[in-house]
Amino acid sequence: MSAYTLGMITELGHFALILAFLIACVQSVVPLVGAHKRWPGWMAVAEPAATAQFLLTAFSFGALMHAFIVSDFSLKLVVDNSHSAKPMLYKISGTWGNHEGSMLLWVLILALFGAMAAWFGGNLPPTLRARVLAVQSSIAVAFFAFILFTSNPFLRLVVPPFDGQDLNPLLQDPGLAFHPPFLYLGYVGLSICFSFAVAALIEGRVDAAWARWVRPWTLAAWIFLTIGIALGSWWAYYELGWGGFWFWDPVENASFMPWLLAAALLHSAIVVEKREALKSWTILLAILAFGFSLIGTFIVRSGLLTSVHAFANDPERGVFILMILVFFTGGALTLFAARAGAMQAKGVFGVVSRESALVANNILLAVAAFVVFVGTMWPLVAEMFFDRKLSVGPPFFNFAFTPFMILLGLILPLGAMMSWKRGKVTRTLQSLLPAFGLAVALAGLVWASQTGRSLMGPIGVFLGVWLVAGSVTDLLGRLGRSRNLSRLLRLPRADWGKLLAHSGMGITILGIAGLMAWQEEDIRVAQIGETFTVGQYELQLQNVEQIRGPNYFSTMGTVSLLRDGQEVALLHPEKRNYPVAQMPTTEAAIDYRFLRDVYVVIGDAQDNGGFVMRTYVKPLANWIWGGCIIMALGGALSLSDRRYRIAAGARKATTPVQGIPAE
């Protein structure tokens, strides 16, 4: 391909981005006016505009990706983040492995969700649809402007260099290649909930139908966030070299807060849908959930919290995002203050009821998110107002956050089985007695058999088993008196989704407790041929070789893992050096098993010819991410439930359905 055509595609991508920005401007104003004046022609602008905006942004993103694939080093972004010798997967993922490209992905997903709302929103009332699409597009306007004026990915170099500076080697990893897209799908998915909330405030009404439209979007966003966070955590586990899985880093917290609020929104929307109560709270949650996504973007992009230095380096971007954040969150909250009074609750329910349990769920999730928020922002607050430079790290969060999750886990099975309107605590307790007994028994067993007297393991086992067994009890309870197991498969998918999502949380808790309570660690200098013992395993360092990869050099060890004299696995821990980026990375070798991982890391060569070796036995490690995947699957099952397909599809389908109310 000639340099001329190469340049053309890139320029067209740049042009498409500018066009998309202009269309977004139109889409954010015209339908809004149309909805206000009841002019159908003006409202009808929204749908084709949303489609065009998406197609243009997709073309622009495609052009940028093309520049990365063919290594077009006339683009500054490609020079800074790519290299011709890099494997193809990472050339592609390099597109979003940097600030500018990832913002373009952000806005692409924003446009995609807007377009999907246009395509599948056929059964929305026309004014609501026009307003949702206009609000969605006004968010897009802000981010298009941000990209074009402060972070343009299509900037050219006058004299292109022969080769690029490579992507940060830590990011050259399959887990991390897909972590940002999932996370963005989650963050940005919440924008649709925000747009629905603001549109409902403008309309001045919220009803069961509104909740039924909003809930699938929230569910989808929550599923993507769950997967995105799990991928990031798993990546940290195997890549950073000591098997940590969560660090309470500001950047992680930025993704965790929207997740917690999305989980709360998911549950409060059920109450609006089924009982027409909690309306204004649900609206507020929808605004806050996306608000926290914006805060997350702000935290990550400005570098404000990780280092004041980075913020000073690029105040323009930070201030721009701060303005977007203040405008949208502040504007929506003002609108909320003015209009929320109009949202009258209809449903009446007793103090002991599913409704009350869901209120408790919302309180715990929202306060937990608040604790994370305060802890994340406190260093900034302390520095600005009290002139103290201090840190808020994992010890604080573990102490202040965990109790809320324990409480949530304790009440979850009870609340999930409580009747709507008016429940009976004793009856619910009775049916959960077997699950409770099982959880206590297993926790007791663990307590008796562990060596230390740590409470963490038994508490985690109790909660995990209680959640899984409680969820199974709940599903069996749906069968009614008949106990006819063949009916299980005919239960609504939402019931199965609930089972999986709640059990998934239990499994994740089991994994975290197991890993934190019973991990074994060994640090030593091992000579080649030496055998040493860690827990129930013996390890032998057989040899160490120097290997050359496509864009790195590697020191690779061969370690034989033995149990009772039998070889269980042959492991190859590596220490890599990426010469272009001038960065070393550790590639841990992990023997993944159902009940434990053995995690081996090789370090520097010692003067005496040995190598530093770190070995960990990590019980139940996989359960952490397995639980997340199960949670996400549960969400997906729920999302595929019949009533959403029907609510989203043609309105003619009125086939009679068996009278089992879905969850």
Partner 1 sequence: MRALLLSVMFGTLVGISASVGVFPSAALAVQPDEVLDDPMLEARARELSKGLRCLVCQNESIDESNAPLARDLRLLLRDRLVAGDSDSEAIAFIVERYGEFVLLRPTTGGWNWLLWAAGPLMLLAALGMGALYVRGRADAAAPREAGLSPDEQKRLQEILKE
Least separation in angstroms between CB 95 and partner 1: 12
Among the listed residues 24, 117, 262, 366, the single contact to partner 1 using CB under 8 A: 366
Q: In the stretch 439-478, what mask flags binding to partner 1 with x, by CB under 8 A?
A: ----------------------------------------
Q: Tell me which DSSP letter residue 595 carries.
A: S
Q: CA-CA distances (angstroms) from residue 339 to 37, 130, 185, 206, 344? A: 20, 19, 30, 11, 11
Q: Measuring CA to CA, which residue among 432, 450, 445 is closest to residue 502?
A: 432
CB-nearer residue toward partner 1: 59 or 248: 248
Q: In the block, which residue shows the tokens 């992009």?
A: 301
Stretch that binds partner 1, among 63-71, 195-203, 217-225, 351-359 (CB under 8 A): 351-359
Instruction: Name the segment binding partner 1 (CB under 8 A); options: 208-216, 463-471, 475-483, 533-541.
Output: 208-216
Binding mask 99-118 for partner 1 (x = CB under 8 A): x--x----------------
35 token code pair = 């909805």
The length of the chain is 663
- Using CB under 8 A as the binding rule, the residues of this chain from 577 to 596 that contact partner 1 are 583-586
| Spatial separation of the C-alpha atoms in residues 358 and 349, rounded to whole Å | 12
- Enumerate residues 6+ apart whose C-beta is below 8 A from 466: 409, 410, 413, 435, 436, 439, 506
Q: Choose, by CB under 8 A, the member of 22, 89, 374, 445 that binds partner 1.
A: 374
DSSP conformational letter for 23: H
Q: For residue 264, which amino acid is it? A: A
Inter-axis angle of helices 394-417 and 425-449, to 10 degrees? 140
Smallest separation, CB 232 to partner 1 (Å): 8
Binder of partner 1 out of 359, 501, 507, 598 (CB under 8 A): 359
User: What is the distance between the alpha carbons of residues 400 and 175, in angstroms, rounded to a whole number?
Assistant: 30
Are the C-beta atoms of 356 and 336 separated by less than 8 Å? no
User: Near partner 1 by CB under 8 A, which window of 53-61, 550-558, 620-628, 642-650?
Assistant: 642-650
Mapping DSSP to helix (H, G, I), strand (E, B) and coil, where does residue 484 land?
coil
| Cβ proximity to partner 1, 84 vs 582, nearer residue | 582
Residue 530: other Cβ atoms inside 10 A = 15
Closer CB to partner 1, residue 379 or residue 458? 379
Contact positions with partner 1 (CB under 8 A) in 157-176: 168, 170-171, 176
Q: Map the footprint of partner 1 across residues 424-443, applying CB under 8 A.
A: none
Q: Please, which of residues 477-536 interact with partner 1 by CB under 8 A?
A: 523-525
Between 96 and 462, CB nearer to partner 1: 96
**Cα atoms found within 13 Å of the Cα of residue 324, Cβ hemisphere only:** 27
Q: Select 187 or 436, whichever has its Cβ closest to partner 1.
A: 187
Q: Which residues lie below 8 Å from residue 232, measured CB to CB, with a gap of 6+?
A: 175, 176, 179, 183, 252, 255
- The Cα 102–Cα 146 span in angstroms is 12
Site residues for partner 1, 176-195, by CB under 8 A, read 176, 180
How many residues touch partner 1 (CB under 8 A)?
98
Cα angle value 627/256/510 (rounded, 5°): 25
Q: Which stretch binds partner 1 (CB under 8 A): 29-37, 130-138, 340-348, 472-480?
A: 340-348
Min dist CB 614 to partner 1, Å, is 7
d(CA 623, CA 512): 8
- Judged by CB under 8 A, does residue 306 bind partner 1? yes
Nearer to partner 1, 593 or 642 (CB): 642
Helix (H, G, I), strand (E, B) or coil at 534: strand
For the CA atoms of 93, 95, 98, 104, what is the dihedral angle to 10 degrees? -130
| Residue 148 vs 170, nearer CB to partner 1 | 170
Residue 658 found at the interface with partner 1 (CB under 8 A): no
Q: Report in angstroms how near the CB of residue 350 gets to partner 1 at its nearest.
A: 5
Helix (H) or strand (E) holding 499: helix 493-518
Minimal CA–CA distance to 76: which of 20, 151, 147, 143?
151
Q: From the CB of 313, what's the least distance to partner 1, in Å?
A: 8
What minimum distance in Å lies between the beta carbon of 247 and partner 1?
A: 6
Q: How far apart are the first and last CA of the chain?
A: 56
Residues with Cβ within 8 Å of residue 385, at least 6 apart in sequence: none
Residues 13/60, Cβ–Cβ less than 8 Å: yes
The string of DSSP letters for 623-650 reads: HHHHHHHHHHHHHHHHHT-HHHHHHHS-
- Answer whether 169's CB lies under 8 Å from 583's CB: yes
> Residue 595 CB, nearest distance to partner 1 (Å)?
25
Q: CB of 256: closest distance to partner 1 in angstroms?
A: 13
* Identity of residue 367: V
Q: Exactly one of 25, 322, 360, 438 binds partner 1 (CB under 8 A); which one?
A: 360
Residue pair 71/91 in contact by the 8 Å Cβ criterion:
yes
Q: Which of 300, 408, 446, 515 binds partner 1 (CB under 8 A)?
A: 300
Choices 93-101, 141-149, 261-269, 409-417 (CB under 8 A): range interacting with partner 1: 93-101
What part of residues 601-620 is at the interface with partner 1 (CB under 8 A)? Answer: 601, 603-604, 612, 614
Closest distance of CB 301 from partner 1, Å: 7
The least CB distance from residue 249 to partner 1, in Å, is 5
Choice from 36, 66, 487, 643 touching partner 1 (CB under 8 A)? 643
461: exposed, middle or buried (Cβ count in 10 Å: 0-12, 13-18, 19+): buried
Q: Which of residues 378-417 bind partner 1 (CB under 8 A)?
A: 378, 382, 385-386, 388-396, 399-401, 404
Nearest CB to partner 1, comparing residues 15 and 396:
396
Query: Closer CB to partner 1, residue 404 or residue 436?
Result: 404
- Give residues 221-250 in contact with partner 1 (rule: CB under 8 A): 232, 235-236, 239-242, 244, 247-250
Residues 24-83 that bind partner 1 (CB under 8 A): none
> Please, which residue, 141 or 294, has the CB nearer to partner 1?
294
Q: How far is the CB of 526 from partner 1 (least distance, A)?
A: 9
Q: Which of 158, 159, 351, 384 binds partner 1 (CB under 8 A)?
A: 351
Name the token pair of 178. Answer: 């897909």
Q: Determine which residue in the list 2, 482, 654, 658 makes contact with partner 1, applying CB under 8 A.
A: 654
